[in-house]
């Protein structure tokens, strides 16, 4: 069941009122992602404020989620001696059937959930519809309440939680960010219809286009009723029921059928055990009740069965289409947690900063409305695609407004603040300054904590536009600096120690020469009148100070937190005399299984979690962040220089070879960053060589594989090409123009209809022909004209649903089913898999035949 956004605070208020000293601690399951860590920080601040006990458990993947269900959640259930409780999933399980994977809906027990209530806050899409529209303990079956919809508890209607709902009985509550009510109406109707249907065996028979009357009469005469078997019991339909027919179950995810030592992915059926077991001798009627037919009532049992089976298949196809659209991301969960704090009246600078960092980290890791993808540049004067499109722009503007509200401007005796003149703030305003400020942040990497040259050299934006992996690209960078009047000696100094005059003029000079080097988005632009639109400061970033101790941007913090999760604070150890970091983990020789990998990642989570609350720990993570991005730059440069990228039909791919730095990329997060880095460079390269973007105006889909010798597998990541359904900024002028065009088409349609009516009247009066035949011919002509108008309307509409989404997750699952390869799909990112070394060639060969972008 899902909780509408306007009721988001109700469940938390109930938690406040129901918790006491003897209550079970709130169990918080957190994904190992920067956005989820920030959301966890916000939520635990709320819990501590209300003196609510809680326990945090990091969750690397689905295997660990299943283990946590057995170790932590099962003892909480009242049916197993517990007292119930609350489980909060942050970035975890939105795409899985949590009732199954957490063991809350055991098949051999009538009572489900056992008083355990699971809150799901996740930005991964698509949703698992079992969590959204069911996931609730049903009321007992009675004579008047036999269907799923009739047995929903009080306050839940069609899966939606209403104001009169009373928590406490357990269930799965999905916090809706607005997408469910707006976008899942078709899927909701199909899902609930399937839940209310009786179970019917589908043996794959052909149903034809329609039931004709003659076959119905024959069936009635012969008394045929193959669907009715009195006294038999119905089976619950499941996405992952191995006993059922393959076509009879829509799936979100299939399991590998190979005998691999790599464990199978956890089972995640879309629906199970929701319908009470009743006889199959039932027929579908208008009041959604099922009664035995008689010969005098009309169609035969076989005809009704075929109709029911056809309806079932249609609804299953709707769900299957939704699950196979691809993967994408919705609103960051740190933003959702800040919305909860705002509803409770708890917002402050600390929580706002955590939300800003979480949202920024999503952008840094390429998590867009098109899935894990680069942001494709449209060009040709059209808007450039952006992170989460219109929604991303709205979230950033909301945060800018919150910064102004919670941080009053400094009184400067009429003088403008330094950042308003284009200077990047590097120090606090006073020793006690902890405010958040808006800053004209350029797309440079860790510029406050590096030299200007290193910051530009390691920036992914400049890497792709200037092509700094080549000697020509490096000369282009040097020429840009020379035109700006910055010598190589000056730009290699620490940015904080650069000449103040150079720092004052940096933004102006970057704006002046950016267009010459294809760097239009390098710094936030300024309107022609020198002022930002209504003070909105579109494109500006966020900076916070901790007195004289440090001043960091949200992008800096997001980069550091990501590096701590992927590498770890203690990993870089500078060798004496060499000045080059090396990974301590490279010395590990023993084979490493999944559990050992999990144990290695756990300390990193707590390092990142602590760094968000301690500025000294955060500063200590800077060397790790620099080392990671140096390794990305070096490895990406080597791959592009040596032309190790293979061009396949549906995507480009490469295999990362062994080198002193590549051990870093055994972590899927670091490998994803490398793939996005190279993928953006490929997109720019193909655009420059052909004059347009490949793959129908989108970026280049890219697959990167890295061998992990310790575990005998390849880690494979597939990134999309961007260009998703919401990836372009929609300005007011374009929207207004589109509305005017639509109104003009409607006006032309009405005018044509008027002309047709006049012609019809004239023909009837002059010829006196048969009115009925005349009307039929004119109606046919009218339909043709209307079809032409409809085609014209369609040409001006948005792209179809699912356009541009990352389909690597679906393609990976299909390849596993077809080839039987030993593949482990355990990451919450479905575009990340592990493939046994011997099976990689066959896996990639089959993958090359799949469609990987919408």
Domain segments of the chain as ranges: 2-183, 732-768+777-795
**Ramachandran region, residue 168 (left: φ > 0; alpha: ψ -120 to 50; beta: rest):** left
pLDDT of residue 551: 94
483-518 pLDDT, tens digit per residue, is: 998 888 989 999 988 888 888 888 888 888 888 888
212-259 pLDDT, tens digit per residue, is: 444 444 444 444 444 333 333 333 333 333 344 444 433 343 334 333
Least confident range of 123-127, 248-252, 462-466, 696-700: 248-252
By percentage, how much of the chain surpasses pLDDT 90?
45
Tokens describing residue 677: 């880095």
Residue with tokens 């990167």: 704
303-327 pLDDT, tens digit per residue, is: 888 888 999 999 999 999 999 999 9
Tokens describing residue 546: 């901790």
Pick the CATH number of 2-183 from 3.40.50.2000, 3.40.50.2300, 3.40.50.300, 3.20.20.70: 3.40.50.2300
User: In whole angstroms, what is the distance from residue 679 CA to residue 519 CA?
Assistant: 18
Tokens describing residue 365: 């890791």
The dihedral through the CA atoms of 533, 534, 538, 540 has a sign that is: positive
Its pTM stands at 0.82
Give the pairing of strands 702-708 and 652-656: parallel
798 CB-near residues (< 8 Å, 6+ apart): 725
341 CB-near residues (< 8 Å, 6+ apart): 42, 45, 46, 347, 351
pLDDT of residue 402: 95
More confident residue, 244 or 135: 135
Burial 755-775 (b: 16+ CB within 10 A, else e): eeeeebeeeeeeeeeeeeeee
Tokens describing residue 231: 């006294």
Q: What are phi and psi of 444, to 5 degrees?
A: -115, 155
User: In whole angstroms, what is the distance from residue 678 CA to residue 690 CA?
Assistant: 18
- Label residue 657 by pLDDT band (50, 70, 90): confident
- The secondary structure of 580-639 as a DSSP string is -EEEGGGG--S---HHHHHHHHHHHHHHHHHHTT-HHHHHHTHHHHHHHHHHHHHHHHHH
User: In whole angstroms, what is the distance from residue 406 CA to residue 437 CA?
Assistant: 10
């Amino acid at each position: 069941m899902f909780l509408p956004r306007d009721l988001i605070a109700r469940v938390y208020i109930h938690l406040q009122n129901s918790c006491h000293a003897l209550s079970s601690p709130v169990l918080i399951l957190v994904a190992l992602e920067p956005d989820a860590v920030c959301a966890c920080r916000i939520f635990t601040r709320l819990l501590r404020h209300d003196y609510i006990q809680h326990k945090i458990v990091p969750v690397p993947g689905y295997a660990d989620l299943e283990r946590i269900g057995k170790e932590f959640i099962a003892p909480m259930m009242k049916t197993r001696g517990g007292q119930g409780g609350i489980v909060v999933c942050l970035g975890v399980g939105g795409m899985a059937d949590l009732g199954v994977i957490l063991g809350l809906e055991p098949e051999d027990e009538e009572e489900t959930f056992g008083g355990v209530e699971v809150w799901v806050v996740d930005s991964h899409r698509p949703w698992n519809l079992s969590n959204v529209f069911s996931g609730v303990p049903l009321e007992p079956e009675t004579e008047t309440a036999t269907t799923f919809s009739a047995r929903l508890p009080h306050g839940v209607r069609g899966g939606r939680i209403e104001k009169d709902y009373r928590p406490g009985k357990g269930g799965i509550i999905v916090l809706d960010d607005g997408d469910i009510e707006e976008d899942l109406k078709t899927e909701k109707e199909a899902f609930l219809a399937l839940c209310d249907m009786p179970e019917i065996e589908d043996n794959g028979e052909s149903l034809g286009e329609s039931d004709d009357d003659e076959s119905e009469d024959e069936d009635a005469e012969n008394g045929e009723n193959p669907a009715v078997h009195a006294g038999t019991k119905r089976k619950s339909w499941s996405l992952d029921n191995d006993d059922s027919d393959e076509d009879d179950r829509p799936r979100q995810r299939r399991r590998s059928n190979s005998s691999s030592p790599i464990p199978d992915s956890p089972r995640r059926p879309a629906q199970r055990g929701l319908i009470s077991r009743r006889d199959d001798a039932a027929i579908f009627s208008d009041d959604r009740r099922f009664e035995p037919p008689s010969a005098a009532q009309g169609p035969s049992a076989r005809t009704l069965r075929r109709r029911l089976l056809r309806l079932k298949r249609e609804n299953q196809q709707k769900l299957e289409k939704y699950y196979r659209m691809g993967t994408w991301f919705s609103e960051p969960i740190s933003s959702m947690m800040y919305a909860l704090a705002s509803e409770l009246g708890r917002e402050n600078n600390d929580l706002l900063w955590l939300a800003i960092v979480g949202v920024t980290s999503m952008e840094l890791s390429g998590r867009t409305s098109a899935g894990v993808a680069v942001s494709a540049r449209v060009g040709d004067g059209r808007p450039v695609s952006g992170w989460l499109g219109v929604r991303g722009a709205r979230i950033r503007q909301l945060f800018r407004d919150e910064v102004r509200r919670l941080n009053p401007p400094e009184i400067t005796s009429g003088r403008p603040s330094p950042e308003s003149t284009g200077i990047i703030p590097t120090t606090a305003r006073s020793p006690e300054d902890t405010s958040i400020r808006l800053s004209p942040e350029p797309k440079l990497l860790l510029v406050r904590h590096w030299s200007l040259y290193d910051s530009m050299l390691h920036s992914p934006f400049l890497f792709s536009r200037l092509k700094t992996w080549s000697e020509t690209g490096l000369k282009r960078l040097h020429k840009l600096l020379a035109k700006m009047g910055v010598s190589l000696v000056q730009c290699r100094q620490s940015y904080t120690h650069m000449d103040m005059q150079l720092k004052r003029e940096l933004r102006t000079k970057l704006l002046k020469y950016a267009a010459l080097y294809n760097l239009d988005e390098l710094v936030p632009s300024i309107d022609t009148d020198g002022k930002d639109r209504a003070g909105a400061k579109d494109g500006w970033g966020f900076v916070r100070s901790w007195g004289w101790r440090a001043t960091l941007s949200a992008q800096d913090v997001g980069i550091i937190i990501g590096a701590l999760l992927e590498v770890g604070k203690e990993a870089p150890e500078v060798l004496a005399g060499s000045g080059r970091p090396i990974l301590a983990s490279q010395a590990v020789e023993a084979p490493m299984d999944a559990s050992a990998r999990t144990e290695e990642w756990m300390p990193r989570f707590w390092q990142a979690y602590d760094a968000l609350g301690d500025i000294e720990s955060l500063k200590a993570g800077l060397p790790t962040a620099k080392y990671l991005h140096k390794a990305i730059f070096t490895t990406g440069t080597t791959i592009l220089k040596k032309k190790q990228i293979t061009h396949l039909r549906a995507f480009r791919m490469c295999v990362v070879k062994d080198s002193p730095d590549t051990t870093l990329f055994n972590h899927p997060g670091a490998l994803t960053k490398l793939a996005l880095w190279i993928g953006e460079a490929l997109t720019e390269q193909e655009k420059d060589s052909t004059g347009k973007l490949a793959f129908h105006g989108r970026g280049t889909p890219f697959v990167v594989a890295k061998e992990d010798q310790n575990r005998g597998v390849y880690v494979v990541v597939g990134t999309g090409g961007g260009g998703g359904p919401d990836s372009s900024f929609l300005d007011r002028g374009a929207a207004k123009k589109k509305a005017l065009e639509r109104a003009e088409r409607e006006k032309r349609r009405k005018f044509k209809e008027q002309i047709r009516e006049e012609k019809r009247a004239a023909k009837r009066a002059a010829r006196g022909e048969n009115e009925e035949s005349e009307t039929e011919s004119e109606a046919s002509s009218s339909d043709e004209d209307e079809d032409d108008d409809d085609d014209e309307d369609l040409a001006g509409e948005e792209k179809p649903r699912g356009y541009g989404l990352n389909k690597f997750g679906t393609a990976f699952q299909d390849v596993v089913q077809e080839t039987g390869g030993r593949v482990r799909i355990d990451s919450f990112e479905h575009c990340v898999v592990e493939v046994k070394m011997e099976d990689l060639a066959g896996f990639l060969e089959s993958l090359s035949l799949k469609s990987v972008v919408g």
